[in-house]
Amino acid sequence: MYKLMEQVHPRFSETDALGHINNTVVPVWFEAARTPIFKIFTPNLDPKQWKLIIAKIEVEFKGELFYGEEVEIRTGIERIGNSSYVIVQEAWQGGRACAVGKTIMVRYSFADKSAVSLSEEERTGLSAFLI
């Protein structure tokens, strides 16, 4: 189902006082796992050439994540619109989905401060990750 899978090794510094992964860490892991999708728009990841903004991000926690056990981040594209697309992601540990998320990304012109239609090349690149 998911097209991208990335392994994360939780760091001790990412734990909270209760001994599990702090809830602010998962969105950072999700963003890092989106890198192959970002490269469709900016292959060298140069911030001065960036073409995307986040319109919305959601993370739902389904269970605890812990230090000392690898986490698998699963990533795919749920929908491609005119100037936006929806990324869906899950964080798996111990055989279960512990967090699920959705991010709406918008193709954006920073010079014009407005959304820009996705090009056919960008649509093709995104389509490779459709689930």
What percent of the chain clears pLDDT 70, i.e. is strictly above it?
100
Kindly report, residue by residue over 72-129, the tens digit of the pLDDT: 999 999 999 999 999 999 999 999 999 999 999 999 999 999 999 999 999 999 999 9
Dist. CA 24–CA 31, nearest whole Å:
12
Q: Could you tell me the domains of the chain?
A: 4-127 (3.10.129.10)
Cα 41 to chain centroid distance, Å, stands at 14
Question: Can you give the pLDDT at residue 1?
Answer: 82
Mean pLDDT of the chain: 96
What pTM did the predictor assign? 0.94
The pairing of beta strand 96-109 with beta strand 52-61: antiparallel
Question: Can you give the pLDDT at residue 4?
Answer: 93
